[in-house]
Amino acid sequence: MTLVLNTLEPGDYSEQINAIFSGVNSEIEIINTTEMNIAHCIGCNQCWLKTPGVCSIKDDYESIVKKLVNTRNLWIVSDTRFGFIDYRGKKVLDRIMPMLNMYLTFRDGWMRHELRYHALNVGLIYKGNGNHELLEEWCQRTAANLGGRSLGVIALDKDPLPIETSREIVPTDVTSEVTLEKHVVIINGSPRAKKFSNTDKILQSFTKGLEEAKTTYELYSLSNRSEWANARDAFMAHNRIIIALPLFVECAPGTLLEFLETLPTKRERPAQLSFILHGGFQEGHQLRLCEKFLESLPAQFGCVYGGSLVRGGTFMIRVLSEKQNKAILLPYRGMGEYFIEENGFLSPEVKKFSKPEQIPWHFRKFVTILFKTVLKKKFNEFAKEWGCTEPLNSQPYATKKRASLLSYTSRILDRCS
């Protein structure tokens, strides 16, 4: 089956979209998501650790997950902003996490989550000003993480506008030197509630470094929409800004993309815009597509790029004790001082912060054993603490026959390991 999630407004490019699938032989279902109630993923991890395979958000997206269980080919139809899919398109992809489970493995040489059901092939159809090369790489990476292949990227507009003219930005000499304030505006772009946010814990450590460098700061969290207006005002009023974010489905979270679309397009003076990007997997390469996207953002807001601090291996922050997290968080404190000393994250030293780029092939067998023993046990313990009563690889939307087969296979694998 082929499932098409259309996030465009009703009637927008409908004829062209129908024509694309007119010659497809398999069963096709097109769902117009703008007519549905779908919230942003909040990164709570309950679909992995508390109610395996079932999202904690009770809205219309559950009906989509049930269809994905019987789908092999998934197409997303989306408008574009900043050269990437817009927040509506990203929102429906961010919610796809119940299709994976908590356990880790290596697939095609990279760390991946195990598939909960089966592989999904992913394709993208986009409207407007998209960076085609970026979108193709994103589609390939997303499909790979879902165990499938890219179905391709199709532009609905034959002659999209160049990226730099896609928004009505007042011309600014963004190449001129910015006289930086001794004050930093920090925006936490994670959709997860501040209390449970790994990004917030990273920023708590990072800002201690700012304080040691005698620098003041103000911090806003996008998980709290009441802070959006003040965050916008601060973004425009100051000229040293950092946006911190976790990786969500190979790029920025949909919540952050929505916030960016609300920012004013006029700026009286340029600012420096830097980023702190982190992700669950240890490998730096997993974050490079998002880093590439972030590099393109500052110029679209009349800012200069101040670099990106990139690091993986941060998933466990939320579930480890303060003492256990020290090794993960302490380096961010040092980078807070470093950011002020070097006026950004552009020095060669910052590149070393994200190592390793990939787990060396000769270590993967050993790491795989850890995945199947120590880490699997830890995840099961965390799940039990969260009140989970089902196996973490359960298939809540599968047929009874298929679920029974999975349970049997799981028991056999457990005995073997």
pLDDT digits (tens, 9 = 90+) for 249-304: 999 999 999 999 999 877 888 899 999 999 999 999 999 999 999 999 999 999 99
- Which percentage of the chain shows pLDDT scores above 70? 91
Type of residue found at 304: V
pTM of the model: 0.91
Beta carbons of 189 and 248 less than 8 angstroms apart: no
Pull the structure tokens for residue 182. 């001794």
As a whole number of angstroms, the distance between CA 184 and CA 1 comes to 50
Q: Closest Cα to residue 295, out of 252, 231, 235, 358?
A: 252
Other beta carbons less than 10 A from residue 404's beta carbon: 11
* pLDDT over threshold 60, residue 211: yes
Query: What are the residues whose beta carbons fall under 8 Å from the beta carbon of 55, sequence distance 6 or more?
Result: 46, 47, 61, 62, 65, 95, 97, 98
| Sign of the alpha-carbon torsion through 207, 208, 211, 213 | negative
Over residues 355-410, the pLDDT tens digits come to: 899 999 999 999 999 999 999 999 999 999 999 999 999 999 997 655 555 544 44
Task: Count, in order, helices (H) and strands (E) of the chain.
Answer: 14, 13
Determine the average pLDDT of the residues in 329-340.
Answer: 96
At residue 416 the predicted structure's pLDDT band, cuts being 50, 70 and 90, is very low
**DSSP-based three-state secondary structure for 208:** helix
Determine the average pLDDT of the residues in 71-90.
Answer: 97
> Which pLDDT belongs to residue 405?
52
Beta carbons of 224 and 194 less than 8 angstroms apart: yes
* pLDDT over threshold 60, residue 214: yes
As a whole number of angstroms, the distance between CA 44 and CA 51 comes to 11
**DSSP-based three-state secondary structure for 15:** helix
Mean per-residue pLDDT of the chain: 90
As a whole number of angstroms, the distance between CA 135 and CA 122 comes to 12
Strand order in the sheet with 271-278: 216-221, 183-188, 240-246, 271-278, 303-311
Query: What are the residues whose beta carbons fall under 8 Å from the beta carbon of 300, sequence distance 6 or more?
Result: 82, 163, 164, 166, 167, 169
As a whole number of angstroms, the distance between CA 37 and CA 256 comes to 19
Other beta carbons less than 10 A from residue 384's beta carbon: 11
Query: What are the residues whose beta carbons fall under 8 Å from the beta carbon of 125, sequence distance 6 or more?
Result: 17, 20, 75, 76, 77, 78, 153, 154, 156
Question: From start to end of 12-99, where are the E strands?
Answer: 28-32, 73-81, 84-85
* pLDDT over threshold 70, residue 65: yes
Per-residue b or e along 48-67, where b marks 16 or more CB atoms closer than 10 Å to that residue's CB: bbbbbbbbebeeebeebbeb
Number of Cα atoms under 13 Å in the Cβ half of residue 414: 13
**DSSP-based three-state secondary structure for 311:** strand
Over residues 155-197, the pLDDT tens digits come to: 998 654 444 433 333 334 444 567 888 999 999 999 999 999 9
Q: Closest Cα to residue 241, out of 214, 225, 261, 260?
A: 260
> Which pLDDT belongs to residue 120?
97
* Structure letter (DSSP) for residue 12: T
> Which pLDDT belongs to residue 266?
78
Cis? peptide before 356, omega within 30° of 0: yes
> Which pLDDT belongs to residue 170?
37
| Sign of the alpha-carbon torsion through 54, 57, 60, 64 | negative
At residue 308 the predicted structure's pLDDT band, cuts being 50, 70 and 90, is very high
As a whole number of angstroms, the distance between CA 135 and CA 140 comes to 9
Q: Closest Cα to residue 24, out of 94, 112, 123, 92?
A: 123
> Which pLDDT belongs to residue 414?
46
Query: What are the residues whose beta carbons fall under 8 Å from the beta carbon of 236, sequence distance 6 or more?
Result: 263, 264, 267
Work out whether strand 84-85 and strand 73-81 pair parallel, antiparallel, or are unpaired: antiparallel
